[in-house]
Amino acid sequence: MQLGLRKTFKVFAPGSSLHRRVAYSLAIVRLVLVPVIFLAVYYLYEMGMIVDRIVNVDAPATTFAEQISVHMLDARRAERSYFLLRDPEFLNANQSALTQVQQIAGKIRDLVPEEQPFTAAVLENAKLYQQQFNDAVALAREPGGTAAERVQRVVQAYEADLNDLLKQARHRTRAQLIDNLRTQVGSFDTQITNTMEAGDPTLRRVAPALQSSSELVLRTASELETRSWQRVQHDHAEARNLLYRAEWVLSIVSALTFLLSVWISFVLPRQVVKPLVELREAVDRAASGDYLIDFQLQGKGEVVDLAKSVRNLIAHVRQAV
């Protein structure tokens, strides 16, 4: 046996067996991924809820409110056309447009329950307008001759206004003349209404009430459209803020998870590798003929059992030599 200094090798393997420590390591590595997965699922769910609200509630409500205004204007045009021509076709067009207004208001009420006061106001004023129009139709007479004669009077009055405008053209610039012509053409519908009211006592009596109830419908529909559009904008801003927050939170959590996983990948394997390195050095020293080796063991498990076996083997060889 060779003489020399006795070498002590420390084999520290705290904890349970190697199999359990490997299982614990895998469990911890998987556990550190849970926050990232949970936050990703949470933000995706929240984003999906916002998009679903925009697509299925706010945007359709905005479109429906706009359609109420369109159909109400169609009803007003059909109303004026009926009193001008007394054609039953315009009665049907008016009733069809009002039916559309009421149906769409009901859709908004079902889609956005919190807008019930506004939809109720639309339905109430639409029914009021419908009743007023039906009363006016029941009381309507045929003043001033046939429908063709009434239309002729309206056109003649409009032609007289255009002639007056052209007579004054020499005193105005081309731009002013064009602006005046546009204004005159745009007011043709108003002139038709004014001419009809002047020649029709029934229309003259009911026109203010019809105008008032229809304007209430249009005003309420405009308010519904504005509120729906504001919700769309609010949801859009909320989605942007949620996306911004998700980017920051996921970045921070991912960085912390990465650092933790790196730390675990170094610390836990080191508890296994370092005792094995000590054992390898002890075996190499014994293989070179130096059997003055002591082991300081601590812990339990496969590594410690292996160190005990190596210690017994070296002791046996030392005694044999």
* 64 pLDDT above the threshold of 90: yes
State which amino acid sits at residue 283.
V
pLDDT digits 0-9 by tens, 183-227: 665 555 555 555 555 555 555 666 778 888 889 999 999 999 999
Looking at residue 195, its pLDDT comes to: 53
Residue 145 φ/ψ, nearest 5 degrees:
95, -155
Half-sphere exposure of 156 (CA within 13 A, CB side): 7
Residues with Cβ within 8 Å of 136's Cβ and at least 6 positions away in sequence, in order, are: 83, 202, 203, 205, 206, 210
Q: Within a 10 A sphere around the Cβ of 287, how many other Cβ atoms?
A: 9
How do residues 291-303 score in pLDDT, each as one tens digit? 777 777 776 767 7
Gap between the Cα atoms of 204 and 154, Å rounded? 16
What is the 3-class SS of the chain, one letter each residue?
Answer: CCCCCCEEEEEEECCCCHHHHHHHHHHHHHHCCHHHHHHHHHHHHHHHHHHHHHHHHHHHHHHHHHHHHHHHHHHHHHHHHHHHHCCHHHHHHHHHHHHHHHHHHHHHHHHCHHHHHHHHHHHHHHHHHHHHHHHHHHHCCCCCCCHHHHHHHHHHHHHHHHHHHHHCHHHCCHHHHHHHHHHHHHCHHHHHHHHHHHHCHHHHHHHHHHHHHHHHHHHHHHHHHHHHHHHHHHHHHHHHHHHHHHHHHHHHHHHHHHHHHHHHHHHHHHHHHHHHHHHHHHHHHHHCCCCCEEEEEEECCHHHHHHHHHHHHHHHHHHHC
Instruction: Assign 260 a pLDDT band (cuts: 50, 70, 90).
Output: confident
Whole-number Å distance between alpha carbons of 159 and 165? 10
pTM above 0.85, yes or no: no
Model confidence pLDDT, tens digit, residues 129-175: 999 888 888 876 545 444 445 556 666 666 676 677 667 666 666 66
- Domain boundaries, given as residue ranges, for the chain: 7-36+250-320, 148-199
